[in-house]
């Protein structure tokens, strides 16, 4: 274990380079499952409008971190502040209603439904008509459905998946499934979008497409993005700042250039001679 590795503070240059105010901050968050300590005193922040990468070797606690941010896990210690408010006992659907959306490491789509219906589920929170009105499907309820359909069609156009609108997602190739999942997350109109390995298992062309979508989402949808990714080329190209985790600890935090030169990061990825 690398218990003696020191935690580097956020460097001044990185802070200066960041685009805006802090959107989400994580302070001294600790999470353990029984005896396994998945996260130990991790602190970092995500600023408005940036693309923030979380990287680290397998089992470093990256996905656990995302699960804490969107309320699947409840950390034993530490403070999470989102949009200036300290959060208590977060539930995933509350996180969604406050503007946090995500995709999953293993694609988590509603397999039996079409692409269109999958993305429509992202509008759930935005639809207001009661159960009875929906059952009758009349008047205001129908107009509401049509209005949300328009928003969803816009996303479908943007992600270039028009040709598979009616296809059950279980039948789609992996790369397209990942794209549909991104679409579903976008349909919630998130302020903070969490992407867990958006390029895993993709070929070069698919990765380029996905990178393009991520950048466009940030620039035109005005969404802040936190992503986990193993492809270092992609991470270095896309992200504004990077947090590096190893064995549940933060070992580095800074711009891609700074992280690449960091000795602790190099050791974590390449191993230290014994």
- Rule CB under 8 A: say whether 96 interacts with another protein: yes
Work out which of 2, 74, 86, 91 binds another protein, going by CB under 8 A. Answer: 91
Number of other CB atoms surrounding residue 99 within 10 Å: 18
Task: Name which of 118 and 262 has its Cβ closer to another protein.
Answer: 118
- Rule CB under 8 A: say whether 114 interacts with another protein: no
Using CB under 8 A as the binding rule, the residues of this chain from 154 to 193 that contact another protein are 170, 184-185, 187-188
Among 103, 121, 100, which residue's Cα sits nearest to residue 189? 100
Binding residues for another protein, total number by CB under 8 A: 35
- Rule CB under 8 A: say whether 151 interacts with another protein: no
Alpha-carbon distance of 49 to 221, in angstroms, equals 10
- Rule CB under 8 A: say whether 110 interacts with another protein: yes
Could you tell me the sign of the dihedral formed by the alpha carbons of 68, 69, 70, 75, in that order? positive
- Span of 75-83, 103-111, 215-223, 238-246 interacting with another protein by CB under 8 A: 103-111
Work out which of 117, 153, 209, 267 binds another protein, going by CB under 8 A. Answer: 117
Alpha-carbon distance of 202 to 41, in angstroms, equals 33
Task: Name which of 196 and 253 has its Cβ closer to another protein.
Answer: 196
Binding letters toward another protein, positions 47-66, x by CB under 8 A: --------------------
- Rule CB under 8 A: say whether 138 interacts with another protein: no
Whether the CB-CB separation of 192 and 99 falls below 8 Å is answered with: yes
Minimum CB distance to another protein, residue 253 (Å): 26
Letter string b/e over residues 36-54, b meaning 16 or more CB atoms within 10 A of that residue's CB: ebbbbebbbbbbbbbbbbb
Alpha-carbon distance of 249 to 230, in angstroms, equals 18
Whether the CB-CB separation of 40 and 28 falls below 8 Å is answered with: no
Minimum CB distance to another protein, residue 186 (Å): 11
The two tokens of residue 6 are 């020191």
| DSSP code at position 197 | S
Whether the CB-CB separation of 198 and 103 falls below 8 Å is answered with: yes
- Rule CB under 8 A: say whether 70 interacts with another protein: yes
- Rule CB under 8 A: say whether 105 interacts with another protein: no
Work out which of 13, 28, 76, 97 binds another protein, going by CB under 8 A. Answer: 97
Residues in the chain: 274
211 to 51, 113, 177, 229: CA distances (angstroms)? 11, 26, 15, 11
Minimum CB distance to another protein, residue 113 (Å): 6
Q: Which stretches of the chain bind another protein, using CB under 8 A?
A: 70, 72, 91-93, 95-97, 101-102, 104, 108-113, 117, 120-122, 124-125, 127, 129, 131, 134-135, 137, 145, 170, 184-185, 187-188
């Amino acid at each position: 274990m690398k218990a003696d590795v020191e935690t580097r503070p956020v460097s001044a240059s990185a802070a200066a380079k960041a685009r805006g105010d802090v959107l989400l901050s994580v302070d001294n968050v600790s999470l353990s499952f029984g005896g396994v300590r998945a996260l130990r005193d991790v602190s970092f922040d995500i600023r408005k409008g940036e693309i923030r990468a979380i990287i680290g070797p397998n089992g470093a606690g990256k996905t656990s971190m995302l699960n804490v941010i969107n309320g699947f896990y409840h950390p034993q210690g530490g403070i999470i502040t989102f949009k200036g408010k300290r959060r208590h006992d977060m539930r995933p659907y509350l996180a969604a209603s406050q503007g946090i959306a995500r995709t999953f490491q293993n694609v988590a789509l509603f397999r039996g439904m079409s692409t269109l219906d999958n993305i429509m589920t992202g509008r759930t929170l935005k639809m207001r008509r009661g159960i009875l009105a929906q059952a009758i499907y009349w008047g205001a309820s129908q107009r509401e459905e049509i209005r949300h359909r328009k928003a969803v069609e816009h996303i479908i156009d943007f992600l270039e998946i028009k040709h598979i609108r009616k296809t059950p997602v279980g039948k789609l190739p992996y790369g397209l499934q990942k794209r549909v999942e991104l679409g579903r997350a976008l349909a919630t109109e998130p302020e903070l979008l969490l992407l867990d390995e958006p390029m895993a298992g993709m070929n070069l062309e698919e990765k380029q497409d996905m990178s393009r979508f991520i950048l466009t989402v940030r620039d035109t949808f005005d969404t802040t993005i936190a992503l986990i990714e193993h492809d270092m080329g992609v991470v270095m190209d896309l992200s504004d700042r990077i947090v590096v985790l190893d064995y549940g600890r933060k070992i580095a935090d800074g711009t891609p250039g700074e992280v690449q030169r960091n000795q602790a990061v190099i050791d974590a990825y390449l191993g230290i001679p014994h």
